């Protein structure tokens, strides 16, 4: 199949597209016939029930796992058709902030951000220093460059991880639970920062988050992953207005709906040794 860039003006083609993708781990199918597109410059939030497959979508996009069928396109190129070198080059165009964005505890804030630059480039020290300070400035932490990770707050650590994720000037940044464990103020700051950096640096961003309030504030598009599928994709407002019972239950945080609060179990009576009665829930 011809790459997108050769059939559409580059700016109109999505940066990321999953076309009819199915994938799993071992024999277990996790995603089935998933379609998803992420436009250039946009911020997409992936939401959905725990274990629904959101992180798996990020792993597909970063080429860590391969689909069983269907295709994953990055900038018009099918990841499955790439050799190791091409995949490596594509990964360099992606910044990742996965699961708490753990910092290297024995490296200073400065060296944490410098790490990918030292790993992937041979920049002279003076230029590397300027780049690191620019990234730290972008997250408001230029003055904290000499601190060790143990000396910064959780919210600051997350911002250092963010500066590290954008150190190589990626086209795409993948965030897995970037707000986990943050207090409401730090969370708001981190969310705003992710949006501002996306726009100021011309990035495209994908965020997996359970924090719907903050995510809906900053996302252009929201995709809900459930039961192995993308059950809805639209603007935050479209998802809020959705009449789909599953989307409604999730977005409005209703305890019961298509996703049942009670997992299948023996009856309450059987488990507690009570006589069987009609009308006792569930």
Q: In the complex, which residues of this chain contact ligand ATP (CB under 6 A)?
A: 25, 30, 48, 50-56
Q: For residue 17, give Cα distances in angstroms to 3, 183, 225.
A: 11, 34, 15
Region of residue 45 (phi > 0: left; psi between -120 and 50: alpha; otherwise: beta) = beta
Q: In angstroms, what is the minimal distance from the CB of 261 to ligand ATP?
A: 17
List the structure tokens of 277. Answer: 């009665």
Q: In angstroms, what is the minimal distance from the CB of 208 to ligand ATP?
A: 6
Identify the bridge partners of residue 229 per DSSP, sorted by sequence position: 226
Q: Which is nearer to ligand ATP, 253 or 281 (CB)?
A: 253
Q: In angstroms, what is the minimal distance from the CB of 25 to ligand ATP?
A: 3
SS3 content of the chain, % helix, strand, coil (to 5): 40, 20, 40
Q: In angstroms, what is the minimal distance from the CB of 41 to ligand ATP?
A: 25
Q: Which is nearer to ligand ATP, 55 or 249 (CB)?
A: 55
Q: Which is nearer to ligand ATP, 53 or 178 (CB)?
A: 53
Q: Which is nearer to ligand ATP, 172 or 224 (CB)?
A: 224
Q: Which is nearer to ligand ATP, 30 or 38 (CB)?
A: 30
Q: Which is nearer to ligand ATP, 48 or 170 (CB)?
A: 48
How many angstroms separate the CA atoms of 228 and 113, rounded? Answer: 36
Q: For residue 155, give Cα distances in angstroms to 30, 38, 127, 149, 162.
A: 32, 28, 28, 11, 11
Q: In angstroms, what is the minimal distance from the CB of 61 to ligand ATP?
A: 12
The angle subtended at Cα 194 by Cα 192 and Cα 199, nearest 5°, is: 95
Residue 110's nearest CA partner among 140, 133, 127, 85 is: 133
Length of the chain: 282
How many angstroms separate the CA atoms of 201 and 190, rounded? Answer: 16
Residue 239's nearest CA partner among 203, 207, 213 is: 213
Q: Which is nearer to ligand ATP, 75 or 214 (CB)?
A: 214
How many angstroms separate the CA atoms of 14 and 20, rounded? Answer: 15
Q: In angstroms, what is the minimal distance from the CB of 29 to ligand ATP?
A: 10
Q: Which is nearer to ligand ATP, 112 or 209 (CB)?
A: 209
Q: In angstroms, what is the minimal distance from the CB of 90 to ligand ATP?
A: 21
Residue 217's nearest CA partner among 253, 191, 189 is: 191
Q: In angstroms, what is the minimal distance from the CB of 184 to ligand ATP?
A: 20
């Amino acid at each position: 199949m011809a790459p997108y860039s050769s059939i559409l003006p580059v700016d109109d083609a999505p940066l990321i597209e999953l076309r009819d993708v199915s994938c799993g781990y071992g024999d277990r199918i996790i995603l089935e016939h998933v379609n998803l597109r992420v436009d250039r410059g946009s911020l997409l939030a992936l939401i959905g029930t725990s274990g629904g497959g959101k992180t798996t979508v990020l792993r597909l996009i970063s080429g860590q796992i391969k689909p069983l069928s269907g295709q994953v396109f990055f900038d018009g190129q099918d990841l499955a058709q790439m050799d190791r070198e091409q995949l490596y080059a594509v990964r360099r165009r992606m910044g990742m902030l996965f699961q708490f964005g753990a910092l290297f505890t024995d490296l200073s804030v400065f060296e944490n951000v410098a790490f990918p630059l030292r790993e992937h480039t041979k920049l002279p020290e003076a230029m590397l220093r300027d780049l690191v300070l620019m990234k730290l400035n972008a997250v408001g932490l230029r003055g904290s460059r000499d601190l060790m990770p143990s000396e910064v707050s959780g919210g600051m650590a997350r911002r250092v991880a963010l500066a590290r994720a954008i150190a190589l000037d990626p086209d795409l940044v993948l965030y897995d639970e970037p707000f986990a464990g943050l207090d409401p103020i730090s969370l708001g700051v981190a969310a705003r920062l992710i949006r501002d950096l996306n726009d100021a640096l011309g990035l495209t961003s994908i965020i997996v988050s359970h924090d719907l309030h903050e995510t809906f504030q900053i996302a252009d598009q929201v995709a809900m992953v459930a039961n192995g599928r993308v059950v809805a994709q639209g603007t935050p407002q479209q998802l809020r207005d959705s009449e789909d019972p599953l989307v409604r239950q999730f977005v409005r945080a209703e305890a019961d709906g298509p996703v049942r609060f009670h997992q299948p179990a023996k009856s309450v009576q059987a488990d507690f040794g009570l006589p069987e009665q009609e009308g006792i829930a569930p």
